[in-house]
């Protein structure tokens, strides 16, 4: 929750109204379906081309996927860009590494960063689903209407 | 499902792009060589100024008398060709894929715009189909292959629309969408779809002849 | 009035019913092997990327239809430009030359009598595909197979025997010139038609039919040249005929001989330039097709069509007129010098300089309809006359429209057009008079004392 508020505080003014609306909506869904994470809420600025927000049911997913350790998703890399086995990063937000500090960027840049971050999410989920031959892969399977 | 998906987005996608690029280069080159060998006069009469003059008149909507005489066709073709190129390159889902796979990105179309443009493409394809079936002088020229080409072009847009709006069966439809796009790419060098590359040359040549030798307009 | 007649006249042209001795005899001697080998030879040795691209790129969109007066007149999809390709080279290339004699017969009828090679369709096809070129390849194949309509082949024979289109013998030519000189002397005393004069400014050449059927054009030209005090000449020997039916039959070897002789006649006399009579196809053969076949990008000596020459006379005030031609005129733009040389504005300059009332036909200039006689079609003779006149229906409509606005005289600065328009005017009852620019200028010319 803290993270949400933080990111809202850091938003540049131009996007803030829209974001506020989206966040309210997201928040509504988040609270409605229990345990539903919307990755969008973090740094992704809604605009006219975003797809419907994804409801990621963290615990249900992990149970189904039989995931024991967190670092399968919450990975950590060292300075050389090598994966550190066994070290997880669930205390950080993805954007800390993958998108830089969104709040300090101009809106055009922040849009690019959003694409960066979205691409990272996509790859993280989909690549694993393909390797495991399980779980959603095509757009509409996650971005449900 | 997963293996289909990885095949169509992996190896098949690469094959499609390679076939499209290499096939186009090959076809273009073989025509170029043949022109050099057998129709070298073409180079003799080619004239940049007159070629561009002619091409310009035929790229401006209603820039030629032919277009003025066929207003519906003119509107349909122009909208069709513009949307045919713009939509796949700038639709957000595709921009995302370029970002994910090659880490490059560019402007993306608002969803609404992409939908409208898709409708335009499908609508013009229906119009072209109607012409082929209903207008006697077009019907007479039409071959089965012409319908297939029309299908090849319309399919990625119809399936894409389906997948985006998540109509029933959209998961398989997404895979079909990808395949249909790849078929279209691969068909370009080997079918009449290659006209997109030949247009500047055929138009440019007749424009040069008319402008440089015949001193007449050709629009 | 006769507008209704033209509309009722809308019978479909059945090319199958037309029997032509030349074509018939030709196909009787064909075997599938011969057809295949000739086709292969022409396609592999004589054509290249242009033909391939023209046939392969055609999108079957039908937009060229509105470019062709055959289609516009007959409203039959078989007569659209692309349809003519479909019925000829499209099939031939698909079947790699394995076609029947019957097919060749149909293809010959299409290529020789259902296309005027007017190139209007290239202005209506978005890709600028040149159906006239494709038809010329088809004619080349037919010629090499010996399947050529009788009448036009006769003119081609005449070309190869007498080096002119009309079997005019060498002495007959000189006789005609002397006779025309005498005629012209009625108008201008001491007038001469200088023969074989070296170093003249103008080498004047005409088409074979002029001495044969329209000899008055020669004395009219002589009077105009003399009135303008030109240093001009005409050749006494073969080479005087600038026309070329071999270009239209597909006999390119003969066409090259004809064009070479014509150029050489002028060059041997060290003439400064060639001025040609009012003929469209002859101009095409000299300015566009023949010179290229001989390897000249542009003609080796400047060639000037009468329109360009007359325009010059008025611009430089070399001749004067007594009064303007009073009767309202309209102007037919001949394809070969309009789409072939862009002389339409000059033609209008001449009309404005000579005529008091000018009524435009629409569409005009580059977009004007062919008279449907060009490209050697009229030269295919009587068997095809009815079909030809029917394909001129759109032209007839144009003429009627001009007439409704008051035009009485049609100026057609082309021999073929004259022939074609004459038949159209007669068949549809248009009742307009045809004239060359030469006729009009001669009529109103102020003769120097
Ligand atoms: S007659 Fe003229 S318009 Fe018609 S096909 Fe021939 S060249 Fe084209
Ligand atoms: S307009 Fe051109 S491309 Fe279309 S059918 Fe005619 S020749 Fe073919
Ligand atoms: S005869 Fe006249 S109208 Fe017909 S093709 Fe020739 S120039 Fe054109």
Please report, for chain A, the start and end positions of each structural domain, with discontinuous segments joined by +: 1-34, 39-142
- Domains contained in chain B, CATH given: 2-213 (1.20.950)
Domain A39-142 in CATH 3.90.10.10 = yes
Tokens found for residue A73: 């998703």
Query: What tens-digit pLDDT sequence spans chain C (449 residues)?
Result: 344 344 444 444 444 578 899 999 999 999 999 999 999 999 999 999 999 999 999 999 999 999 999 999 999 999 999 999 999 999 999 999 999 999 999 999 999 999 999 999 999 999 999 999 999 999 999 999 999 999 999 999 999 999 999 999 999 999 999 999 998 998 888 899 999 999 999 999 999 999 999 999 999 999 999 999 999 999 999 999 999 999 999 999 999 999 999 999 999 999 999 999 999 999 999 999 999 999 999 999 999 999 999 999 999 999 999 999 999 999 999 999 999 999 999 999 999 999 999 999 989 999 999 999 999 999 999 999 999 999 999 999 999 999 999 999 999 999 999 999 999 999 999 999 999 999 999 999 998 87
Q: DSSP letter at A54?
A: P
pTM of structure? 0.89
Q: Identify the pLDDT of residue B214.
A: 92
Orientation of helix C101-113 relative to helix C32-41, angle to 10°: 50
- Helices A107-132 + B92-102 axis angle, to 10: 70
Residue C358 forms beta bridges with which residues?
C329
Residues belonging to chain C:
449
When the candidates are 1.20.120, 3.40.50, 3.90.1070, 1.10.150, the CATH number that belongs to C329-444 is 3.40.50
Lookup: tokens for C350: 């001449």
The architecture (CATH level 2) of C21-148 comes to Orthogonal Bundle (1.10)
The answer, yes or no, to whether ipTM is higher than 0.90 is yes
Neighboring chain B residues of C57 at a CB cutoff of 8 Å:
192, 194-195, 198, 202
**Which DSSP symbol is given to C321?**
B
Higher pLDDT, A53 or C97: C97
Q: Does B219 touch chain C (CB under 8 A)?
A: yes
Atom 2, ligand 2: residue with shortest CA distance: C125
Q: How many helices (H) and strands (E) does chain C have?
A: 24, 8
What are the CA-CA distances from residue C60 to residues A95, B132, B194 (Å)? 54, 9, 14
Q: Say if residues B122 and B158 touch (Cβ distance below 8 Å).
A: yes
A-chain CB neighbours of B109 within 8 Å are 49
E strands, C175-259, in order: 202-205, 232-233
**Cα gap C41→C252, rounded to integer Å:** 15
Print burial letters for A74-96: b (CB count within 10 Å at least 16), e (below 16). eebeeeeeeeeeeeebeeebbbe
For C365, the token pair is 């200039």
Nearest one of C319, C410, C328, C324 to C371, comparing CA atoms: C410
Under 8 Å between Cβ of B138 and C62: yes
Q: Which of C62, C78, C107, C117 for a ligand 1 pocket mutation test, highest count of atoms within 8 Å of Cβ?
A: C117
Q: Which ligand is nearest to the CA of C414?
A: 3
Tokens of C296: 């000249």
Question: What are the DSSP calls for A58-119, one per residue?
Answer: HHHHHHHHT---GGGTS--B-TTS-B-TT---TTS-HHHHHT--GGGS-HHHHHHHHHHHHH
User: C163-315 domain in CATH 3.90.550?
Assistant: no
Number of Cβ within 10 Å of residue A48's Cβ equals 12
Whole-angstrom distance between the N-terminal and C-terminal Cα of chain A?
25
pLDDT one-digit tens code per residue, A15-46: 444 444 444 444 444 444 446 666 645 555 56
| Angstrom distance (rounded) from CA B98 to CA A8 | 29
Which of C250, C248, C249, C261 has its CA nearest to residue C164? C261
Our CA angle for C267, C271, C273, nearest 5°, is: 100
- SS3 (DSSP) at C434: strand
A89 vs A73: CA distance, rounded Å: 9
Tell me what pLDDT residue A112 has: 56
DSSP class of C89: I
> C11 vs A33, B59, C5, C7, C74, CA distance in Å?
77, 39, 12, 9, 8
Which of C416, C419, C423, C437 is the pocket-test mutation for ligand 3 (most atoms within 8 Å of CB)? Answer: C416
Q: Please, are residues C243 and C279 in contact by the beta-carbon 8 Å criterion?
A: yes
User: Domain extents for chain C?
Assistant: 21-148, 163-315, 329-444
Report pLDDT for B123. 97
Closest CA to C1 of C437, C430, C435: C430
User: What crossing angle do the helices spanning C344-354 and C437-444 adopt, rounded to 10°?
Assistant: 30
CB C416 within 8 A of CB C374: yes
Would an 8 Å CB–CB cutoff place B80 in contact with chain C?
no
| Same CATH fold assignment for domains C21-148 and C163-315 | no
Q: What whole-number distance in Å separates Cα of residue C14 and Cα of residue C391?
A: 12
**B132-137 long-range contacts, Cβ below 8 Å, gap at least 24?**
B135/C62, B136/C77, B137/C62, B137/C65, B137/C71, B137/C77, B137/C80, B137/C83
Atom of ligand 1 nearest to the CA of C335: 2
C-alpha span between C330 and C347 (Å, rounded):
11
Give yes or no for residue C81 CB within 6 A of ligand 2: yes
Reading across the β-sheet that carries C232-233, which strands appear in turn? C232-233, C202-205, C273-276, C303-305
How does pLDDT run across A62-107, given as a tens digit for each residue?
A: 999 988 888 888 888 888 888 888 888 888 877 777 764 444 443 3
């Amino acid at each position: 929750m803290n993270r949400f508020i933080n990111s809202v505080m850091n938003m540049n003014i131009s996007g803030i109204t829209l974001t506020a609306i989206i966040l309210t909506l997201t928040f509504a869904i988040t609270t409605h379906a229990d345990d539903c994470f919307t990755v969008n809420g973090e740094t992704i600025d809604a605009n006219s081309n975003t797809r419907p927000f994804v409801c990621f049911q963290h615990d249900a997913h992990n149970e189904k996927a039989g995931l024991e350790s967190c670092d399968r998703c919450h990975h950590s890399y060292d300075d050389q860009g090598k994966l550190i086995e066994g070290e997880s990063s669930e205390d950080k937000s993805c954007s800390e590494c993958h998108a830089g500090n969104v709040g300090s960027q101009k809106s055009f840049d922040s849009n690019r960063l959003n694409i960066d971050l979205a691409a990272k999410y996509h790859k993280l989920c989909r690549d694993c689903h393909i390797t495991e031959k399980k779980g959603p892969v095509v757009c509409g399977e996650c971005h449900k209407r | 499902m997963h293996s289909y998906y990885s095949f169509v987005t992996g190896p098949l996608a690469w094959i499609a792009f390679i076939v499209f690029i290499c096939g186009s280069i090959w076809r273009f080159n073989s025509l170029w060589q043949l022109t050099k060998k057998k129709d070298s006069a073409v180079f003799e009469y080619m004239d940049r100024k007159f070629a561009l003059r002619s091409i310009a008149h035929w790229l401006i909507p209603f820039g030629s008398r032919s277009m003025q005489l066929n207003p519906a066709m003119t509107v349909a073709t122009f909208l069709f060709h513009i949307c045919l190129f713009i939509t796949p390159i700038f639709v957000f889902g595709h921009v995302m894929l370029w970002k994910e796979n090659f880490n490059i990105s560019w402007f993306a179309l608002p969803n609404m715009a992409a939908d409208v443009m898709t409708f335009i493409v499908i609508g013009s394809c229906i119009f072209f189909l109607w012409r082929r079936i209903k207008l006697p002088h077009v019907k007479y020229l039409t071959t089965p292959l012409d319908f297939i080409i029309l299908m090849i072009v319309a399919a990625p847009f119809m399936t894409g629309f389906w997948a985006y709006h998540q109509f029933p069966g959209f998961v398989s439809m997404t895979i079909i969408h990808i395949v249909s796009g790849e078929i279209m790419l691969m068909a370009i060098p080997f079918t009449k779809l290659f006209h997109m590359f030949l247009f500047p040359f055929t138009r440019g040549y007749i424009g040069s002849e008319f402008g440089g030798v015949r001193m007449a307009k050709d629009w | 009035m006769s507008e209704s007649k033209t509309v009722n006249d809308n019978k479909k042209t059945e090319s199958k019913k037309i029997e032509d001795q030349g074509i018939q005899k030709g196909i009787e001697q064909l075997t599938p092997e011969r057809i295949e080998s000739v086709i292969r030879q022409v396609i592999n040795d004589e054509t290249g990327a242009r033909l391939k691209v023209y046939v392969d790129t055609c999108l079957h969109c039908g937009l060229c239809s509105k470019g062709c007066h055959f289609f516009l007149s007959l409203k039959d999809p078989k007569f659209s430009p692309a349809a003519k390709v479909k019925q000829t080279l499209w099939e031939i290339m698909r079947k790699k030359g394995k076609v029947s004699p019957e097919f060749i017969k149909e293809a010959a009828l299409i290529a020789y009598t259902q296309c005027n090679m007017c190139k209007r369709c290239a202005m209506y096809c978005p890709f600028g595909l040149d159906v006239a070129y494709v038809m010329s390849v088809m004619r080349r194949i037919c010629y090499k197979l010996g399947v050529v309509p009788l009448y036009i082949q006769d003119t081609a024979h005449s070309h190869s025997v007498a080096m002119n289109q009309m079997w005019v013998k060498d002495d007959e030519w000189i006789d005609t010139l002397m006779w025309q000189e005498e005629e012209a002397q009625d108008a201008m005393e001491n007038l001469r038609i200088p023969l074989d004069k070296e170093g003249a400014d103008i080498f004047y050449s005409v088409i074979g039919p002029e001495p044969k059927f329209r000899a008055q054009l020669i004395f009219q030209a002589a009077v105009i040249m003399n009135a303008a005090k030109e240093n001009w000449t005409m050749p006494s020997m073969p080479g005087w005929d600038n026309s070329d039916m071999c270009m239209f039959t597909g006999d390119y070897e003969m066409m090259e001989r004809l064009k070479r002789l014509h150029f050489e006649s002028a060059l041997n006399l060290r003439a400064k330039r060639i001025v040609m009579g009012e003929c469209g196809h002859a101009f095409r053969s000299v300015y566009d097709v023949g010179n290229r076949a001989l390897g000249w990008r542009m003609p080796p000596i400047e060639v000037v069509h009468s329109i360009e020459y007359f325009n010059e006379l008025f611009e430089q005030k070399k001749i004067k007129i007594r009064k303007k031609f009073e009767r309202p005129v309209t102007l037919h733009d001949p394809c070969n010098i309009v789409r072939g040389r862009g002389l339409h504005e000059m033609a209008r300059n001449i009309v404005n300089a000579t005529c008091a009332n000018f009524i435009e036909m629409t569409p005009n200039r580059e977009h004007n309809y062919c008279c449907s006689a060009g490209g050697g079609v009229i030269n295919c003779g009587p068997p095809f006359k009815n079909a030809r006149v029917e394909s001129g229906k759109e032209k007839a409509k144009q003429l009627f429209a001009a007439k409704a606005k008051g035009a009485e005289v049609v100026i057609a600065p082309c021999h073929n057009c004259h022939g074609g328009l004459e038949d159209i005017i007669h068949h549809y009852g248009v009742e307009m008079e045809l004239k060359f620019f030469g006729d009009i200028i001669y009529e109103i010319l102020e003769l120097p004392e």
